Structure 1
Amino acid sequence: MSFLAARRRHPAAIFVVLLLALVFTGGAYAALAPKDADAASASAPAASSGDAKDGKELFLANCASCHGTNATGSKAGPSLVGVGAAAVDFQVGTGRMPMTQPGVQAARGKVQMTPQQTKDLAAYVAALGPGPGIPDSKNWNGEGDVARGGELFRVNCAMCHNFVGSGGALTRGKYAPKLSNVSGKHIYEAMLTGPQSMPVFNDTNLSPQDKNDVVSYLKYVESEANTGGHNLGNLGPVTEGMFAWTVGIGLMIGAAVWLGRKAA
């Protein structure tokens, strides 16, 4: 005991204790922490169906000018290390990338790469670091619970995308895009990767079934008939109020002018 008491007063004792505590904490975390579902999904079969070597050539020819030759980013574009195959499949598959011109937000446009080129590019980016893989079709087949998907969408997405996915304006020139005529896979990938200003909804936030329910709701809304007449863009009271002011007030002014002329 006297030996331990003497060593306890040594100037290096506190550093030894801290080192042992860090080693113990790190080892315990590595052994007990749950595995990251998103990182595991990076090895999904769909992500490995491309050729990473061909993908690198495509990257150097089409993407390196903004994202850097090593995909570590630059002033013109962010790093792609760890974004995963799903992010590439979404951005390239919706025509947002390669970006045609600089802007505050990449707009959806004409797809510039073939499906195989997209797979090759996704395989290359997936090899740079673990990230979300391209989801299996069973996760976005649109056969989920529509009612529950509507609830999830209104709680998590409607404040930006509107209650039926018609989109809306954000700050600094950005916007939440319309979700009509978007494939279920790309909707799922957007939730999984969080493109642009969108937050990431990983499997901890929304489970794969939750995401499929949201996809199912959006596909149901897209195919639903407008029994009440013209939908006015499904933008709610904004367009309805504008219609009332421009058309309704215009008719009232016209009627007042006509009555005034009749009285004269």
Structure 2
Amino acid sequence: MKKLSARRRHPLAAIVVLLFALAATGGLYAAFAPAGEAKAEASAAAQSLAIEEGKKLYAVGCSSCHGTGGQGSSDGPSLVGVGAAAVDFQVGTGRMPMQAPGVQAPAKPKVYSQEETDQLAAYIASLGPGPTVPTKEQYSPEGLSGEEIAEGGNLFRQNCAQCHNFTGEGGALTDGKYAPGLKDVDPKHIYEAMETGPQNMPAFPDSVLPEKEKRQIIAYLDKVNTSETPTPGGWGLGGFGPVSEGLFAWTIALAILVGVTVWVAARNAKARKS
């Protein structure tokens, strides 16, 4: 008893007891703490890190046009509130950063990796609320019925064909601008374009075009742009059908034939006079 009492009076006894209590508390917390709470903390830490890395990338590659805080400048619009989806589309398709000022940013090989694009998107999203990057379930055309795909065609013709053509082959706009072709475009990027309205394109948020209808449009484009889709009658000519092919024959081919006929007749007449 005397030895035990002496140990209790040892100067390090309180520190040992404190360390033991902290270890026990930490172990019990790790064992019984809710798994969701731990995951949430890890996710928040990862998001914070992504924002910091994205801020560094932004300062080097974007701030010269869009301002040091994304507020915009004479060379680029404000990015406050555009959301992560706009960044994923613009950077993921290589449109940003632009190589040189122009009326429109063309698609080109992307500069940033997907990880870097995600970091840039996280930073821009932190500046203000906006459309988020869609999940695969939102944009994947898989699993839709033929009736739903046909409805997607109707929606595309009503909302998109005026600029992108009936089968998404693209077309010219005013002042040197153009609606790009949609063949071989990632379904995610098509969804993001509808959600954010890049450049000359109007935005189609869920209040205008619900998520299901966006997915149906993507399924329609996937269907008409596959190599399995037949083009009966000859050239596709923008998907307008046999009417456009007949019009081409009458206006172009027939004009050529008339021109050749006139040329031959003129040569014969000249030969007879000589």
TM-score range, shorter chain: 0.7 to 0.9
SS in 2 for 1:252: helix
Structure-to-structure mapping, 1:180-219, within 5 angstroms: 180-219=183-222
Which piece of structure 1 moves more, 103-112 or 67-76? 103-112
The unaligned stretches of length 5 or more in structure 2 are 1-43
Q: Return the offset for 1:141.
A: 0.8
Q: Return the offset for 1:148.
A: 0.8
SS in 2 for 1:172: coil
Which residue number corresponds to residue 96 of structure 2? Answer: 97
Distance 2:133 2:236 in 1: 34
> Does the 8 A contact of 1:50 with 1:122 survive in 2?
no
Alignment match of 1:165 (pick from 137, 143, 168): 168
Larger Rg: 2
Which residue number corresponds to residue 12 of structure 1? Answer: none
- State yes or no: 1:253 paired with 2:252: no
Which residue number corresponds to residue 80 of structure 1? Answer: 79
Structure-to-structure mapping, 1:1-264, within 5 angstroms: 51-143=50-142, 144=144, 145-223=148-226, 224-234=229-239, 241=247, 244-262=250-268, 264=272
Bigger relative contact order, structure 1 or 2, given CA contacts below 8 A and separation 6+? 1
Distance 2:266 2:259 in 1: 11
- Which one-letter code corresponds to 1:227 in the other structure? P
Distance 2:48 2:154 in 1: 35
Distance 2:230 2:238 in 1: 13
- Which one-letter code corresponds to 2:73 in the other structure? S
Q: 4+ residue stretches of structure 1 with deviation over 6 A?
A: 235-240
Compute the TM-score of the two structures, normalised by the length of structure 1.
0.76
When the two structures are aligned, how many residues end up with a matched partner? Answer: 219
Alpha-carbon deviations, 1:192-245, whole Å to 9, x = none? 000011111111111111100000011111012222222234477778756644
SS in 2 for 1:91: helix
Distance 1:175 1:50 in 2: 38
> Does the 8 A contact of 2:153 with 2:220 survive in 1?
yes
Which piece of structure 1 moves more, 127-136 or 225-234? 225-234
- Which one-letter code corresponds to 1:258 in the other structure? V
Distance 2:168 2:127 in 1: 33
Between the two proteins, what is the percent identity of the paired residues? Answer: 49
The structure-2 alpha-carbon separation of the partners of 1:88 and 1:127, relative to structure 1 and needing over 3 Å to count, comes to same
Distance 2:198 2:85 in 1: 11
